[in-house]
Amino acid sequence: MIYVLGSINADLVVYSVRFPDVGETVVGNDFLVNQGGKGANQAIASQKAGGETTFIGRVGDDYFGTLVLESLRREHINLRVKREKNTSTGIAVINVDEKGDNKIIIIHGANGKVDGSETAYLKERFKKGDVLMIQGELDASVVRDAARIAKASGAIVIFDPAPVSSELKSIIPFATFVTPNETEIKTLTGLSGDKGAEALLKMGAESIIFKKGEKGLLFLSSKESFSVSAFPVKAVDTTGAGDTFNGAFAAALHAGKPLKEALVFGEAAAALSVTRKGASISSPYEKEIKEFLKTHSVKFRVHT
C-alpha cells in the first residue's frame, strides 16, 4: 500500500500574462477552483499512475471540504479523512503567469489539526515494502513521527520538504528519498545547486532526488550518483509538477520497477502534467505515461 499523510486544499487559481507588482492591479485571463494540497496531489498522482493509495488527512465542514473530498473519491482513493467542525478547509491562492511559473499563498485550515491520531492509524498498518509519502504542509512533529514509524516498519519514506522550513531538518534522517528543489535545498543547507544536494545527503537521508524542473534531476546516495535529463515539453502550468513526480515515482517503486526506471516514469508524468492547467487534475494516468515513454527518452550521466 502507498500511504500519503498530508494536506488537502481547495486551489483558487488565477491565470494572467504576468504577476502584478506591489499595489498594481492586473487583469487575469482565466480562473479555476479545484482540489490541491501537496498531500492530496501526490495521492491522486500515485493512484492515477497505477498505485494503490490511501490518503490520510483532514478537511473542514465547509463547501470546499465537500469539493476536495469528491475529487479523491472520483479516483477511488482509500480515505481516512476527518471533517473538522467550525474549521475551514485548507486554501491555496495561486497565481500563474504566461510562462507557467506560479506564486502561491497557503492557508492551512483543517490541515493544521492533523495530530497523533493519524500517526497511530499508520502505526497499526505499516508493513515492510509499503510506501509513505510526506510533505511539509503539516505540523513537523507529526510528520517526523510518521516517518520514524514507517522507517522502523521497513516502509519506504518519500519526503518532499515543501513548503520548506528549518523544522523539517529533523525529518531528513528518517527518509529513504528526500525530493527537494533548488529553493528548498538552499534553505535547508545554506548552499546552492549540487553542492547543496550533497550537503543535504550528509544530514542523514538515504538518498536525495534534486528536482531541477526543465533541467531534469540529480540523484545522490552513498552508493551512486547520476543525473537524468528532462523531457522537452512546452510548459503551460508548472503547479503540482513536483507532486506529480513524487506520486508517479512512488507508484513505480511500489510496483517493483528498478530505481532508474521509476525516476524516468516520474519525470515523464511530471512532463505531461506541465502541459496542462491545474495541479492534481493535470497529473496523467498510467496509460498516458506509458504511451509518452514509447516516443520519448531521457539521458543519464554519472555525476562527478
The catalytic site residues sit at 243
**Cα–Cα distance for residue pair 40/50, rounded to 1 Å:** 16
For the beta sheet containing 131-134, the strands, ordered from the edge strand earlier in sequence to the opposite edge, are 78-84, 53-60, 2-5, 131-134, 156-159, 177-178, 207-211, 217-221, 225-228, 300-302
Burial 271-304 (b: 16+ CB within 10 A, else e): bbbbebbbbbbbbbebeebeebbeeeebeeeeee
**Cα–Cα distance for residue pair 249/241, rounded to 1 Å:** 12
Radius of gyration of the chain (CA): 18
Q: Are 31 and 13 in contact (CB under 8 A)?
A: yes
